[in-house]
Structure 1
Amino acid sequence: MSTFEISSHHLPAFTFNSRRSPVYATKGMVASSQPLATEAGVEILRKGGNAADAAIAVAAALAVVEPCSTGLGGDAFALFYSATAKDVFALNGSGKSAQDISLEKVTAMGISGELPLRHAMTVNVPGALGLWADLVERHGTLELSEIFAPAIRYAMQGFPVSPVTAQLWNEGSEILKHSPGGEQLLLNDKAPRCGEIMLNRNLGLLLARLADHSPSGAKQLFYTGDIAEKIVKIVRDHGGFLSENDMASHSSLFQESISVNYRGYEIHECPPNGQGLAALLALNTLNDIDVAELGAPDSPERLHHLIEAMRLAFADARLHVADPHHYSTPLKKLLSPSYGAKRAAQIFPDRAKLDNTSGVPLNSSDTVYFCVVDKDGNGCSMVNSNYLGFGTGIVPEGLGFSLQNRGHNFSLDPNHPNVLAGGKRSYHTIIPGICLREDKSLHSTFGVMGGFMQPQGHMQVISAMLDDGANPQEALNRLRFCIEPGEAGGKICLEEGLPGATIERLSAMGHELEMRGGYDRTLFGRGQIIVRDPEKGTLCGGCDPRSDGHAGGLC
């Protein structure tokens, strides 16, 4: 008989042959895609920190244990619910493009259609650290030295790589091998395998430097001086346009959230340049459709209407999501009940509408979503992302993180609101969500990570909870669809396990379908949800079975 050895672990089969119970607690809860990150957040709650403190502890831990998806080289968006104010505050941590870049310059270089996918010219200012510091400064209670402590421990002492992360790391290993500095995030020139111990001392030392400062001091340290110099140097050495002035002038945006009423609940998202608008547009359309009466969740009639509502939402979002300082999105009109009714009337009940009114996502991405609710009922819903796996794959010397390629989302159409320009925020895929009851109490923090799957995931889990009364885990367990990046009309990817009759009927309606299973299920996103009982204060959390993570709480 062979002896069990952790070091011999291979990636386990990605199957859905077990069940998860929702997690219950009373004095705080954290849900993330990594058990170690969830534990980091719970550790902060146990020390007396609030939802903002714990959320940033989770963000920092994820930067260490899931660097393929997130990190200090990326961007972040957050929604924070204050139980005292009974209000939702939006924080936009996306960075601007380099002032030196322009449509004219890249056109003169012979570039058309879109920017090169992994090129240094797609590096915008990384806004994650700025948001981390701003969220703690405005809503937190603890010092960065306490908040970053778990992440520093993981980075310096090492952590075992989890299965889904090992798969994502392996998928990005060729990018790292051929990107400047990328070998720093490999283990013996390879992606670490499931169960192998990975260290990132460079990132640990950087976090320790930042932790010695106040939030404002940490921002100054990151965006000026030697850290900014290293980021700028590697970007410019490889054809990018970022400058030290771009780094030094970075600031987060404090914004008002945008929302729609769905079945008597307020669904809140961050405003553009994030694509939360797409989720709200889809839900606004579904408001005029009795979803529950269309059939079971896996019926072709119900899935067809959700797909078509999402197509219409993408069409509008692709046209109107851009930097709010460069374009004024007509939010009041787009989110009005009358516009939702108009869009609902454009859905054919028995066939797909594949003409040019249909929106088509651009690309998938690697992203992390996580949420926290503390004992006082404050909630934080947050997304941190490199965009595509490891972003550009470029790793500045001695810093331990890769730089995002978010600039790839700019349009090269001179007449588009999201057209490439210097000092501009691009269309962003990352979107956290918060749901409130009619009395403005917190119903839930929710999100589904994964590029252009995110608004599709938001619509599907909100419908599950509010149309069918599903608990958080049930909502996340449901099989999903995803309008895949592609040509006009958008191919529909369906998750293996849906009934054969449903697949046949959707195909007959005109939907181009493709089935996905195994590790390809990550296309359908990885989400987390925490729901709060307004009377008892009981928390109920769920974590996506497509991820490595879990929800954890305190009692």
Structure 2
Amino acid sequence: MRNFETPTRSVAVSATAMAATSHPSATLTAINILQAGGNAMDAAIAACAVQCVVEPGSTGIGGDCFALYAPKGGADVIAYNGSGRTPAALTVDWFEERGLTEVPRQSPSSVTVPGAIDAWTRLHADHGRLPFSEVLAPAIALAENGYAISPRVHRDWVKEEKLLEADEAASRIFLPRGRAPRIGEMHRQPELAATFRRIAAEGSDGFYRGPVAEDMVERLRSLGGLHTLEDFANAEGEYVTPITTTFRDYTIHECPPNGQGIIALMILNILSHFEAAGAPDATDRMHIETEATRLAYAARDAWLADPAKADVPVEEMLSKEFASRLAGMIDLKQAIADLPPFELPRHRDTVYISVIDSERNSVSFINSIFDCFGSGIVAPKSGVMLHNRGQSFSLRRGHLNMIAPEKRPLHTIIPGMVTRNGRTEMSFGVMGGYYQAMGHAHLMSKVLDYGMDMQDAIDLPRFVPASGLAPKIEVEQTVPASTIAELQARGFEIVPTEDPIGGAQVIRIDWENGTLSGASESRKDGVALGY
């Protein structure tokens, strides 16, 4: 039970259906779609399309998408990998010839072929109910007629003004007054509205073939990119088999590599070796979660890659023996000093959506353009902001995640699903780039280990291991000074984070009472709503 004297919010509770997103317009859209006869998949795609308009720094149709789907609230979870691939002509040689040791952000080499629209159209065709034009209609209306800027959207937008200024189309569309729109101002994206109309009419061909694809390829090639119309025409995601682990008698489902869902499962496997003693935000628990994450991330950056192009040791990474060995390295008296070398991606921007409908069809849906406003490159006629997911590749020869032709990068975005006794228990997800795997494990531990209210669990102060070998932790300002002092005494270096860490949404099914409860991230603008 939440403390009603603290500045937070209650979980949303309803009987029929529920949606949780990081923007009010998206959540309302999902509810409207459900009440109009759509199902959870229709509602999730409609909400995501709206967020591609009203949260343009966080997501877009020029990015990637992953989804988990549990039909009728069962335990047979379906997974879809909608991550895009590099151009067929792009090799590591191209970077070496230019003396590059990392993929530049605002460059065509950071742009993999976007996979989101393939995922939306395939998932809708296979699992949706309403006409696709009706699903995209709310996004089209907002892009065409305008939408009001919300507080968190404005905050993130302002920080990327210089990036947007560097691209003519991005500046014209996203800095209409020579600056980021302010809170309460209206903003329109007519080019994007027209692109949505084409996709609504033509499906994936409206994006990967014809004028929209031509516009994206022309813009990328004008900047020196190697993308071709064939690269876009060949874009295709795939249904994949979810990977799982058991944590406190619950089965946690994640998408398999190239996504980092496997790392969330590894962290949970390590945490399963420790009792949930003391308070959920106690220093010892923070120490354990930090070290479990550092160890799992070290394995991630050594082994995680596109399984179609590299031999990813999934079984070893998820084995109980490996988890036991890693758990044995954690010493509550002092931080682990000697970790294997690893490189962590920085914080990124993403939206996560959870929807459960009246039939208990459950959708866990995530869509991203990686950095805030992605690459900062906009296709001028179509209004598509292109992501910079290619920055997740390594340029080290021989590395499993080394950039290569038609390869998918290590991916940070991960939807989650929880089942028990043959039924869906929770649809959940956590945003925040490399934090996401830790965020999944952190949220599940707080809810399943400590029995916390879902909203209270989301609102807890957050922390995440910083990049590099040293035992360094980025912490939000709400982490108590006494906790920081104790961690420093154990050998951790503490660094205040520049931004709030991540975001989360979760919906849980109460099968006994036939109701739903949901929570939405207080660090964002969104809400959970049900009816």
Specify the TM-score bucket, using the shorter chain as the normaliser: over 0.9
- 1:189-338 alignment, distance < 5 Å: 189-213=178-202, 218-290=203-275, 292-293=276-277, 295-338=278-321
2:369 matches 1:396: no
- 1:463-482 alignment, distance < 5 Å: 463-482=445-464
Report what 1:54 is aligned to: 43
- 2:77 and 2:313 map into 1 onto residues whose CA distance is 21
| Cα shift at 1:85 | 5.4
Amino acid paired to 2:474: C
2:479 matches 1:494: no
**Equivalences, count:** 526
Q: Pick from 518, 523, 528: which aligns with 1:546?
A: 523
| Cα shift at 1:490 | 5.3
| SS of residue matched to 1:284 | helix
| SS of residue matched to 2:378 | coil
Q: Pick from 486, 489, 494: which aligns with 1:508?
A: 489
- The list of structure 1 runs, each at least 4 consecutive aligned residues, that deviate by more than 6 angstroms after superposition, is none
Structure 1 residues 487-530: Cα deviation after superposition (integer angstroms, max 9, x where no partner): 323521122233322111111111110234xxx442x1011111
2:148 matches 1:160: yes
Q: Pick from 376, 391, 405: which aligns with 2:359?
A: 376
Q: Is the 8 A contact 2:471 2:491 kept in 1?
A: no
- 2:437 and 2:75 map into 1 onto residues whose CA distance is 25
Q: Is the 8 A contact 1:179 1:392 kept in 2?
A: no
Q: Is the 8 A contact 1:448 1:528 kept in 2?
A: yes
CA RMSD of aligned residues (A): 1.5
| Cα shift at 1:225 | 1.1
| Cα shift at 1:94 | 0.6
Q: Is the 8 A contact 1:381 1:446 kept in 2?
A: yes
- 2:508 and 2:66 map into 1 onto residues whose CA distance is 20
- 1:37 and 1:259 map into 2 onto residues whose CA distance is 29
- 1:250 and 1:360 map into 2 onto residues whose CA distance is 28
| Cα shift at 1:51 | 1.0
Q: Is the 8 A contact 2:73 2:362 kept in 1?
A: no
2:417 matches 1:434: yes
| Cα shift at 1:360 | 4.7
- 1:314 and 1:360 map into 2 onto residues whose CA distance is 9
Q: Pick from 91, 112, 129: which aligns with 2:117?
A: 129
- 1:283 and 1:395 map into 2 onto residues whose CA distance is 39
| SS of residue matched to 1:27 | coil
Structure 1 residues 118-162: Cα deviation after superposition (integer angstroms, max 9, x where no partner): 211111001111111011111111111110111111111111110
Q: Is the 8 A contact 2:83 2:114 kept in 1?
A: yes
| Cα shift at 1:354 | 2.6
- 1:243 and 1:81 map into 2 onto residues whose CA distance is 36
Amino acid paired to 1:310: T
- 1:79 and 1:359 map into 2 onto residues whose CA distance is 29
- 2:73 and 2:283 map into 1 onto residues whose CA distance is 44
| SS of residue matched to 2:77 | strand
Q: Pick from 95, 105, 130: which aligns with 1:117?
A: 105
| Cα shift at 1:73 | 0.6
| SS of residue matched to 2:300 | helix
| SS of residue matched to 1:451 | coil
- 1:180 and 1:188 map into 2 onto residues whose CA distance is 14
Q: Is the 8 A contact 1:158 1:198 kept in 2?
A: yes
2:408 matches 1:425: yes
2:54 matches 1:65: yes
Report what 1:529 is aligned to: 506
- 1:237 and 1:491 map into 2 onto residues whose CA distance is 41
Report what 1:3 is aligned to: none
- 1:36-47 alignment, distance < 5 Å: 36-47=25-36
- 2:492 and 2:279 map into 1 onto residues whose CA distance is 19
- 2:337 and 2:151 map into 1 onto residues whose CA distance is 38
- 1:171-182 alignment, distance < 5 Å: 171-182=159-170
Structure 1 residues 378-412: Cα deviation after superposition (integer angstroms, max 9, x where no partner): 11111111111111111102212310111111111
| Cα shift at 1:115 | 1.3
- 1:379 and 1:170 map into 2 onto residues whose CA distance is 35
Q: Is the 8 A contact 2:150 2:184 kept in 1?
A: yes
Q: Pick from 307, 325, 339: which aligns with 1:356?
A: 339
Report what 2:76 is aligned to: 87
Where does the alignment leave 5 or more consecutive residues of structure 2 unmatched? none
Report what 1:4 is aligned to: none
| Cα shift at 1:17 | 7.0
- 1:499 and 1:248 map into 2 onto residues whose CA distance is 52
Question: What TM-score does the superposition give when structure 2 sets the normalisation length?
Answer: 0.97
| Cα shift at 1:480 | 1.2
| Cα shift at 1:335 | 1.1
Question: What TM-score does the superposition give when structure 1 sets the normalisation length?
Answer: 0.92
Amino acid paired to 1:37: A
2:87 matches 1:98: yes
| Cα shift at 1:182 | 1.0
Report what 1:457 is aligned to: 439
* Comparing 79-88 and 440-449, the one that deviates more: 79-88
Structure 1 residues 215-242: Cα deviation after superposition (integer angstroms, max 9, x where no partner): xxx1112111111111011001102111
Q: Is the 8 A contact 1:358 1:489 kept in 2?
A: no
Q: Is the 8 A contact 1:314 1:358 kept in 2?
A: no
Structure 1 residues 258-317: Cα deviation after superposition (integer angstroms, max 9, x where no partner): 111000101111111111111111001111111x11x21221111000000001110111
* Comparing 347-356 and 163-172, the one that deviates more: 347-356
Report what 1:5 is aligned to: none
- 2:431 and 2:396 map into 1 onto residues whose CA distance is 28
Report what 2:158 is aligned to: 170
- 1:416 and 1:209 map into 2 onto residues whose CA distance is 40
193 and 528 in structure 1: CA distance in 2 versus 1, 3 angstrom threshold: same
Q: Percent identity?
A: 38
Report what 1:35 is aligned to: 24
| SS of residue matched to 1:137 | helix
- 2:433 and 2:471 map into 1 onto residues whose CA distance is 15
| Cα shift at 1:350 | 1.2
Amino acid paired to 1:515: P
| Cα shift at 1:86 | 3.1
| Cα shift at 1:359 | 4.9
2:428 matches 1:446: yes
Q: Is the 8 A contact 2:344 2:468 kept in 1?
A: no
- 2:341 and 2:103 map into 1 onto residues whose CA distance is 23
- 1:381 and 1:506 map into 2 onto residues whose CA distance is 35
| Cα shift at 1:429 | 0.8
- 2:394 and 2:266 map into 1 onto residues whose CA distance is 22
- 2:301 and 2:28 map into 1 onto residues whose CA distance is 37
